């Protein structure tokens, strides 16, 4: 029982404040019209920064921070590799690096890190913010929907692969032979 008590007695007020800021920022800028793309750009930086801050404030060591760094670097390497090899024109014509969305990969990698490490209660606002970022990329004609979906998938897979549970419960998707798919749920008691 001491493990459980030490984890639940931690002061999480700074985390709640940070996540509340993300929600306020995403809601307040959603109606800015011409600033829609800028709000997605801000969240692309703010969401991973919040995840990094959570890892520093909630944990006694730097294990979570290193997992987040590995998640982000792996995700970004895959995205940049695909952008270099798949030359897809952006919907607004501003370049030929539309596939996949780096914004979606970054924010979904951070959200998945938060979900895997700290649980769904912390991840819901992060996933909402990441989804909003994807929306801003499509609405501002920087990406097509499939660019955002593939970017999000890269971020999620990176987060699942590199992140271990901090709270003791982990949910991991799996695929087996002959079309068997599902979720693996593990926990420490």
pTM: 0.74
**What residues contact 39, with CB distance under 8 A and at least 6 apart?**
25, 26, 29, 30, 32, 132, 136
- The CATH number given to whatever domain includes residue 49 is 1.20.144
Please tell me the total count of domains within the chain.
1
The answer to whether 134 touches 86, Cβ cutoff 8 Å, is: no
Q: Look at residue 185 in the predicted model and tell me its pLDDT.
A: 60
Q: What is the pLDDT of residues 25-73, one digit of tens each?
A: 544 444 434 589 999 999 999 999 999 998 988 888 889 999 999 999 9
State the residue for tokens 């008590």.
Answer: 5
The answer to whether 40 touches 140, Cβ cutoff 8 Å, is: yes
Q: Look at residue 168 in the predicted model and tell me its pLDDT.
A: 59
> How big is the chain by its Cα radius of gyration, in Å?
17
CA distance 136 to 130: 10
Q: What is the pLDDT of residues 83-137, one digit of tens each?
A: 999 999 999 999 999 999 999 999 999 999 999 998 888 999 999 999 999 999 9
Domain that holds residue 183: 2-187
């Amino acid at each position: 029982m001491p493990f459980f008590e030490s984890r639940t007695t931690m002061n999480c007020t700074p985390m709640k404040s940070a996540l509340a800021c993300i929600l306020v920022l995403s809601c307040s800028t959603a109606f800015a019209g011409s600033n829609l793309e800028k709000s997605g750009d801000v969240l692309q930086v703010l969401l991973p920064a919040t995840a990094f801050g959570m890892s520093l404030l909630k944990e006694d060591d730097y294990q979570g921070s290193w997992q987040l760094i590995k998640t982000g670097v792996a995700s970004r390497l895959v995205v940049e590799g695909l952008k270099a090899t798949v030359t897809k024109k952006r919907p607004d014509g501003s370049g030929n690096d539309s596939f996949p969305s780096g914004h979606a990969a970054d924010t979904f990698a951070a959200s998945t890190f938060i979900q895997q490490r700290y649980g769904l209660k912390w991840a819901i606002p992060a996933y909402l913010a990441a989804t909003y970022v994807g929306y801003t990329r499509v609405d501002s004609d920087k990406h097509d929907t499939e660019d955002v979906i593939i970017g999000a998938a890269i971020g999620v897979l990176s987060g699942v692969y590199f992140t271990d549970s901090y709270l003791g419960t982990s949910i991991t998707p799996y695929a087996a032979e002959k079309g068997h798919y599902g979720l693996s749920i593990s926990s420490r008691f």
